[in-house]
Structure 1
Amino acid sequence: MSLFIASLNSGSNGNCYYIGNDQEAVLIDAGISCRETEKRMRRLGLSMQQVKAIFISHEHSDHIRGVAVLAKKYQLPVYITAGTLLHGGLILHEHLVTAFRAYEPVYIGGLAVTAFPKEHDAAEPHSFIITGNTINIGVFTDIGISCEHVIRHFQQCHAAFLEANYDEVMLEQGRYPYYLKNRIRGGKGHLSNTQALELFKTHRPAFMSHLLLSHLSQDNNNPSLVQELFDQHANGIKIVVASRMQETAVYQISI
């Protein structure tokens, strides 16, 4: 029994993550255009007909940019909180909008999607655990700190998308204005390489097989640096740095 996962894009220019079994799949966030989503899925041999729902983590444009067109074209239900819908300014057909609650699983065929709150500067931000075939996949991006919710859910994951947004030195010495630097590292912004690595080293379960490092900053991080940093501590876990320019491969997660 397996689940299949891929990042279609990951970064401040757009985020979209695919998780599915043999029959159905969900997208977590839809921050790239409908056309790009379709194109990247075709290249991976994935079918939009298998996607049964979109779950939105929060209202920032890099997570919702493509959702209206995608949902309308494929008549996909969009699971989104009322606050996220309001603050995102999304115009969605009412029959496609469904609210979700933290810690209450939403069943999409053989998949169960459970949201939980996260620390981020948005209206009602959530992370997700997707469960199917007794396999757990976590999507942990746009998190300011590794709070107890993140730790507890990370410990359950056979595979995870985990934010490694910035290198502390690159951010400090970079061109960003001081207020933006403080927003990023201030506890409700993004997770640094060091913070992500500490979560990985300290709380990864023995059964974890894949870690997809996600939402890397274009200006304040370097994919090669992140890959080398995590590879040193992988202990047999497949480490993948998700690109902000293209899709990853599809990874089969089995137990």
Structure 2
Amino acid sequence: MMRIDIISLFPDMFAGPFGHSIIKRAREAGLLSVQVTNPRDFAFDKHHIVDDYPFGGGAGMVMKPDPVFLAVESVTAERESDKRRVILMCPGGQSFTQQKARELAGYEQLVFICGHYEGLDDRVRQHLADEAVSIGDYVLTGGELPAMVVVDAVARMLPGVLGASDGAEQDSFYSGLLEYPQYTRPRDFRGWSVPDVLISGDHAKIARWRRKQSLKNTLERRPDLLVDFPLNAEDAALLEEIKKERSGG
């Protein structure tokens, strides 16, 4: 079972997202443990203050290092492990990708540090976190929403979480390509019909169609993903077929 610990000033934010759907079922099945620890519980002054004015001046408040260090140490003290990763959610961190989700899924424990206000004392990044991760080139109010995104993506990679053994492998980006289109009943909806090949029962043709559509979606929406994608001979032939169809050839 993977253990996930989140260090956040706002634990209640996680109750909704982690109390429903796939993550809820994974927790109930004993595949995933999610705990949220409030660093205020480790601020031992009378008012449990966790922030202070920045040295050198400037707007806003900065989260103090001591409550954060103590909070992280409280959830990592139970045992030594080389299969643990402490992650700071930070706009200046490494961009989060599907590949990163697969990497993080290999750990036994993940600890997410969620900053707030004008950020955290940089000693947290330098001496406590193993790495900093960002979900995009924009700034949010805190690290809580990014942590939810990363936890959700990582949880999908864990064995048994999606039920089907290859469930995650069909997702966009898992193989490096976008996913093929999906359809269900009714077969005809407002004059729009499901592609005949999907009703044919010919699994080889269905597999070829899906691969072609995956390549087509990637070419049209995210051509950058194809730059370094290792195309095999069949992929290259399908891609040429797609390009000819687009050009009317």
Q: TM-score, normalised by structure 2?
A: 0.25
Q: Which has the higher contact order (CA 8 A, sep 6+)?
A: 1
Greater strand share, structure number: 1
Greater Rg, structure 1 or structure 2? 2
Greater helix share, structure number: 2
